[in-house]
Amino acid sequence: MYSYSWGINRVDSDGNVYMLYSSAPERFRNDTFYIEKYTPQGSFDPGFGTNGVLNLSALLGYTSSEEPPLLSFEVTESNKVLLLLGAPNNGNPKLLRLNGDGTIDQTYGVSGTKQIYMDPLKYNKHYRSGLYKAGTKYFISHNYSDLQDKPRAEIGCFNESGELLTGMFDQGLKQVDYGTAYNYTQIQSMMVSGSSLYVQGAGYTTSATNIRINKIETASGIQDNSYVSHPSLNISFNNTYIFPDGKAVEGSSVSVSPSRTDLKLKKYLADGSVDTSFGTNGELNIGYPWISLNFSKIQALPNGDFLVGVAYVSTASSGNRQNALIYVKSNGQINSSFGGNIPNNGVPLAGFFGLVGYYGSTASFTLKPDYLMVTASRSYMGARLVTSKVNFNSGALSTDEINQSYTFSFYPNPLKSVGTLTVKDDGEASFSLSDSSGKLIVRNQIFRNKTEIDFSALTKGVYYLSIKQKDKESTRKIIKE
């Protein structure tokens, strides 16, 4: 193959890994899209596609001279692949669902396909969209033009079956509009962090662009208007990670010489101001003689710390380039107990973990409770991709860090009437309860240590209990029998 691109991985509840990528067999040819499926042990799943590899272009009926309008994908709670597809000539986007063996799920929609955003009295043309999973909900960003050909933007909240969750937003849809001061607003990117959806949009005038990030609760669909994003934050190009508590870290590379680049991290509080408790007055600069560190991506860990993906180049030796992760604590200190397999002039770098791969940068992260799947370019021009599993041991964290982790219990589950919710410490906490359509039943109910929740008046079905305590959040599925 001439080159590979994309390189997006997803992990199902059984630990199987799906990797979506596109490849060009030779220069100036259209890309062909593939999905590979690996077992939790890292071997191809022979029951998926052809010996673990599925040619999506062929499955969807595209020839070598055509490129399918594939936008993004997720793995559902039922361990099926859900693909978001565009359509030729700016037609309606659609969802396609695949079974665990790579065949089209004929029980989904019409022959495996579900058309979305279909209202002919509202939509004229459809443009860039994106699919983002939050538990059992699927948020789909949608840029389109109305019947007057005016650009508009909205977010739809769907279930796995491609149906709008009418308890969210306005019958499942939320218009994104920066107001009459702008000619139009477009959604650039979104990300899910904890129980929040962060939406980056841009308002355009004839002479200026205003980029803004909004925070929306995934349980209720309510926008948090108290959230203020700093103007330099940008989730479209992976230089920013926003934590569940609204704090954010911005990463970049800083050139210090013709052959050396250092890593710069800057942290912001939820109100948009600089977090001066992080590093030195809110900034952490990581640099070493004879090393070039090229920033790639940030991923938060469950305890509030985070990993930074970089491309590491040792200019003191052969100059080989490879991908690496740096473990940074929430206060800006490097975790010296992590990694140590990359040398700096012969001395291992504490906090650095070298990955298989070079000449490229990390492309995709999928975080599970105790490990991270990383997909990265392995060679020049992206001619190879490699996916690695990186374990991190929460039990090896310091006592203070363990105490900062958030846990709660709820029993019984399933239940028939009353359940008991208990949090780890005696501090003040709050809970919200929503049904499977996203409709909020209880919002921010304050309690301490333990409380009882009465489900007796609710119908049988699935509910979602969201807990907040200090800067920690968690959500659990509750079944009412």
pLDDT (tens digit per residue) in 346-394: 677 889 988 865 445 557 899 887 888 988 876 554 457 788 888 875 3
DSSP sequence for 280-307: BTTEEEE--TTEEEEEEEEEE-TTS-EE
Please, which pLDDT band fits residue 407 given cuts at 50, 70 and 90?
Answer: low
Query: Is pLDDT larger for residue 219 or for residue 68?
Result: 219
Query: How far, CA to CA in Å, does 412 sit from each of 58, 113, 308, 418, 446?
Result: 48, 38, 39, 8, 21
pLDDT digits (tens, 9 = 90+) for 65-85: 777 888 899 999 999 999 999
pLDDT bucket at 316, cuts 50 / 70 / 90 = low
Q: Are 260 and 287 in contact (CB under 8 A)?
A: yes
Where does the pLDDT of residue 408 fall: very low under 50, low under 70, confident under 90, or very high at 90 and above? confident
Cα radius of gyration (the chain): 23
Structure tokens, 477 = 């599925």
> Has residue 26 got a pLDDT over 80?
no
Q: What is the amino acid identity at position 392? A: F
Q: Can you tell me the distance from the alpha carbon of 420 to that of 42, in angstroms, rounded to the nearest whole number?
A: 40
Cα maximum dimension of the chain: 70
Give the fold, CATH level 3, of 408-480.
Answer: Immunoglobulin-like (2.60.40)
Contacts 24+ apart (CB under 8 A), 477-480: 477/135, 477/136, 478/410, 478/413, 478/414, 478/415, 478/419, 478/433, 479/413, 479/414, 479/415, 480/414, 480/415, 480/416, 480/455
State how far the Cα of 269 lies from the Cα of 162, in Å rounded to an integer.
36
How confident is the model at residue 398, as a pLDDT? 28
pLDDT at 173 over 90: yes
List the structure tokens of 137. Answer: 């909900």
Bigger pLDDT: 255 or 65?
255
For residue 27, the model assigns a pLDDT of 56
Where along the chain do its domains lie? Answer: 230-358, 408-480
pLDDT at site 207: 87
> pLDDT grade, residue 137 (50/70/90)?
very high
Q: What percent of the chain has pLDDT over 90?
A: 49
Comparison of pLDDT for 206 and 197, the residue scoring more: 197
CATH architecture for residues 230-358: Beta Barrel (2.40)
What is the Cα–Cα distance from 35 to 54, expressed in whole angstroms? Answer: 5
Q: Any idea which of 219-233, 304-318, 344-358, 456-470 has the lowest mean pLDDT?
A: 344-358
